[in-house]
Amino acid sequence: MNHSNVLALTMGDPCGIGPEIIAKLFLADAGLSVDGLLVVGDPAIMRRALGWTAGQLPVVEIDEPADLWSVPSGCLPVLRPPDLPTDLIQCPVGQVVPLAGAAAAACVRHAARLALRGDVSGLVTAPLNKQALAEAGIAFPGHTEMLQACAQGPAGLPPVRMMLANDALKVVLVTVHMSLRNALEAITFDSVLQTIEIVHRAAAAWGQPKPRIAVAGLNPHAGEAGAFGDEEIRLISPAIEAARTQGIDAHGPFAPDTVFMRARDGQNHPGEFDVVVAMTHDHGLIPIKYLGLDEGVNITLGLPFVRTSPDHGTAFDLAGTGRAKAASMKAAVRWARRYGLTGA
């Protein structure tokens, strides 16, 4: 075993359900192999989370990912970041706490450093709280932007995109965490083409070297030949054509209210497309979240390492109750193993 088999699970906001759903992964009845999994977080927080789940696993603190292979089976290995705030156990569960936001960010940054050094193959990130991040002075609205900054190199920020995936549907977004007004300005020929290119490159890692990409329009009926808006004519269609000249199997623009049904893959309904590119956050995420959060996974495309996450938030109302479900976190680990161990 070596670093290429190791995934770092960041604990997320310690006041939310992140530590609990991670703890549940390590229990014997979770139905998931925990070989090669380590937690980047606070050992005391993870011990408390195990108590919420009635788990009896010992928590073993490690200093480096390589130490994982000397941890006895039946233990939960935790690597504490050097800049993790102290006294997190005093933060009230189920509330927005700036210190908890700072802790969640510290775990993400350290896990990213481990991935960039090649000490781990990828990250699976438990939920953080955007308000707690902001109140802690963290200048990023979420994981995607924070990890993009961590991966910045001499050429600048790597272009990244958010993909939400489950067994039935994969959706990639051109614009993410911005107001709808600003998103409309961010939809350009270049941003649409770049999204299609990122999807095409990334799909090879999950076993689809020539994915069928459907591109959703922006306007009702994909603009109805300009009657309801001309973004499809001016921006989206030319980007699709440019992608096709590169040998990319891209199609559209299609009406946003029907393309997701066409792409959905089911037992008696094989999907027409492998991935849908959507222009805005809610255009793309409403249909996939409607299918259910239990198996949904958030995947960041374009990073130099793999990053997946469950498709839900910190669920402060469930924190500390032992009732949080780990299904989406389990799916995120499976996706990271499927997508990550072969490369981003």
Q: Answer yes or no: are the C-beta atoms of 161 and 314 closer than 8 Å.
A: no
Asked whether residue 84 is assigned to any structural domain, the reply reads: yes
Is the pLDDT at 342 greater than 80, yes or no? no
Both 146 and 262 in one domain: the answer is: no
Q: How many independent structural domains does the chain possess?
A: 2
Same structural domain, 104 and 174: no
Tell me: do 4 and 140 sit in the same domain: yes
Q: Is residue 160 part of a domain?
A: no
Q: 58 φ, ψ to 5°?
A: -75, 140
- Choose the final residue of a domain: 270, 291, 312: 291
Name the residue among 337, 207, 222 with its Cα closest to residue 278.
Answer: 222
The answer as to whether 162 is a domain residue is no
pLDDT for 4 equals 60
Query: Given this model, what pLDDT does residue 31 score?
Result: 81
| 175 inside domain | yes
Distance CA 8, CA 175 (A): 27
Max avg pLDDT among 167-176, 225-234, 238-247: 238-247
78 and 24 together in one domain: yes
**Same domain assignment for residues 45 and 98:** yes
pLDDT at 1: 42
The Cα 97–Cα 132 span in angstroms is 6
Beta-bridge partner residues of 7: 37, 122
Considering the domain boundaries, does residue 161 fall inside one? no
Q: What is the pLDDT of residues 44-88, one digit of tens each?
A: 999 999 999 887 899 999 999 999 999 998 999 999 999 999 999
Same domain, 243 and 210: yes
Which residues, 6 or more positions from 236, have their beta carbon under 8 angstroms from its beta carbon? 187, 192, 215, 217, 218, 252, 253, 279
- Of 276, 291, 306, the last residue of a domain is 291
Using CA atoms, how far apart are residues 152 and 135, in angstroms rounded to an integer? 24
pLDDT band at 10 (very low <50, low <70, confident <90, very high): very high
Judge contact between 248 and 204, C-beta under 8 A.
Answer: no
Both 146 and 109 in one domain: the answer is: yes
Q: What is the CATH number of the domain that holds 194?
A: 3.40.718.10
| pLDDT for the residue numbered 2 | 47
Q: Which band of pLDDT confidence, cut at 50, 70 and 90, is reported for residue 268?
A: confident
Is 324 part of any domain? Answer: yes
Identify whether residues 117 and 198 lie together within a single domain.
Answer: no
- Asked if 69 and 129 sit in the same domain, the reply is yes
Q: Does 174 lie in the same domain as 148? A: no
Mean pLDDT over all residues of the chain?
Answer: 92
249 is a domain residue: yes
Of 275, 291, 307, which residue is a domain's last? 291
Residues 117 and 249 reside in one and the same domain: no
Q: For the chain, percent helix, then strand, then coil, each to nearest 5?
A: 40, 15, 40
Whole-number pLDDT of residue 312:
86
What is the extent of the structural domain holding 111?
A: 1-155+293-344
Residue 48 in domain: yes
Shared-domain flag, residues 243 and 340: no
